[in-house]
């Protein structure tokens, strides 16, 4: 339904959350290893270099709530340095990843209470109570995934996190920053074509899971930085005039008409500070790499 509605809009669009099936997630993992895709590498470097300070800022006895935890690959680094963490709450839509990760972590951290939640993390899920009462709630949202939200949804989502964590709680978040457009452009137009494959895979997924007949070689990957809107826009452009069957409907494409598949907003530190403030957070601490490409920020409620 959401898919059909998106394709019937005057400017066609598909929600970027549909990228992440098994193959899409593997393609994304490959993106994170690309030379051009500085985000993951830089966030990891900042995290490694500043981990003592980050852990000290988060403080003792917190309940760590990870939004979109996936395989919880980044979590041990944090858990290893936190002082007496009380509980870890991974939230992810993929049950398999969630349970595998929870099992793995429970073996490595036998004293830590692990309370997985299988849910769309933007939905209104109920937070479980840890056995030990009185822990401060600290949310963890790495990867600059906040950049994939439009402005108003980003504010609403951050406000929801602030509400979940409550007074005394906080959010540790990775935020990609504005920079030279050519660096941004390369990050979403890699030489090896992995980002193009990731984008096109969305159509392949629709063909498999819905009744659609997109011809993959009749669409092209197109990503560019839109400075007026401070975002990378990713599109799939129809290479000819064509019709695509979507269930019982036929969707008509003009030559060069596009489907908007993703936005990735880039912020200055001031802009993100304003967004955080409008959602009820105060920026307590910012950690940066030497080139100021990427920030890790601790926001308090
Ligand atoms: C998940 N997210 C932060 C990625 C980004 O950079 O916006 C998704 C992505 N799209 C293309 N390349 C990576």
Average of per-residue pLDDT across 44-59: 97
Cα 183 to Cα 30: distance, rounded to the nearest angstrom:
18
The residue to mutate among 17, 93, 262, 295, having the most atoms of ligand 1 within 8 angstroms of its beta carbon, is 262
Q: Does the pLDDT at position 139 exceed 90?
A: yes
* 3-class secondary structure per residue, 67-92: ECCCCCCCHHHHHHHCCCCCEEEEEE
Contact 285, 295 (CB under 8 A): no
Tens digits of residue pLDDT in 262-288: 999 999 999 999 999 999 999 999 999
Say if strands 136-141 and 113-114 run parallel, antiparallel, or are unpaired.
Answer: unpaired
Predicted pLDDT of residue 82: 96
Tens digits of residue pLDDT in 149-161: 999 999 999 999 9
Predicted pLDDT of residue 93: 87
Any atom of ligand 1 within 6 Å of the Cβ of 261: no
Predicted pLDDT of residue 211: 83
Any atom of ligand 1 within 6 Å of the Cβ of 70: no
Predicted pLDDT of residue 216: 97
Question: How does the average pLDDT of the chain come out, rounded?
Answer: 96
Given the cut 0.90, state whether the ipTM is greater than it: yes
Q: Whose CA is nearest to atom 6 of ligand 1?
A: 264
Any atom of ligand 1 within 6 Å of the Cβ of 195: yes
Helix (H, G, I), strand (E, B) or coil at 12: strand
Tens digits of residue pLDDT in 92-122: 988 988 999 999 999 999 999 999 999 999 9
For the chain, percent helix, then strand, then coil, each to nearest 5?
40, 25, 35
């Amino acid at each position: 339904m959401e898919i059909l509605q998106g394709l019937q809009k005057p400017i066609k669009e598909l929600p970027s959350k549909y990228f992440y099936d098994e193959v899409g997630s593997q393609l994304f993992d490959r993106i994170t290893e690309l030379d051009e895709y500085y985000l993951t590498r830089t966030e990891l470097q900042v995290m490694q270099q500043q981990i003592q300070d980050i852990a000290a800022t988060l403080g003792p006895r917190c309940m760590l709530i990870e939004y979109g935890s996936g395989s919880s690959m980044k979590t041990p680094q944090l858990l290893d340095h936190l002082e007496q963490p009380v509980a870890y709450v991974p939230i992810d839509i993929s049950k398999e990843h969630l349970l595998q990760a929870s099992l793995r972590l429970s073996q490595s951290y036998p004293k830590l209470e692990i309370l997985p939640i299988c849910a769309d993390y933007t939905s209104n899920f109920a937070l479980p109570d840890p056995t030990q009462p009185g822990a401060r709630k600290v949310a963890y949202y790495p990867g600059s995934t906040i950049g994939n939200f439009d402005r108003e949804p980003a504010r609403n989502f951050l406000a929801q996190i602030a509400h979940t964590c409550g007074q005394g709680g906080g959010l540790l978040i990775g935020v990609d920053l504005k920079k030279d457009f050519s660096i941004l452009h390369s990050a979403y137009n890699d030489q090896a074509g992995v980002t193009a494959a990731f984008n096109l895979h969305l159509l392949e997924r629709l063909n498999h899971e819905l009744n659609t007949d997109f011809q993959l070689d009749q669409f092209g990957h197109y990503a560019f930085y839109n400075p007026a809107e401070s975002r990378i826009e990713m599109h799939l452009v129809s290479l000819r005039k064509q019709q695509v069957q979507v269930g019982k409907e036929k969707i008509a494409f003009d030559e060069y008409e596009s489907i908007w598949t993703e936005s990735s907003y880039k912020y200055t530190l001031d802009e993100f500070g304003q967004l955080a403030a409008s959602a009820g957070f105060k920026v307590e601490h910012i950690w940066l790499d030497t080139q100021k490409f990427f920030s890790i920020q601790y926001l308090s409620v």
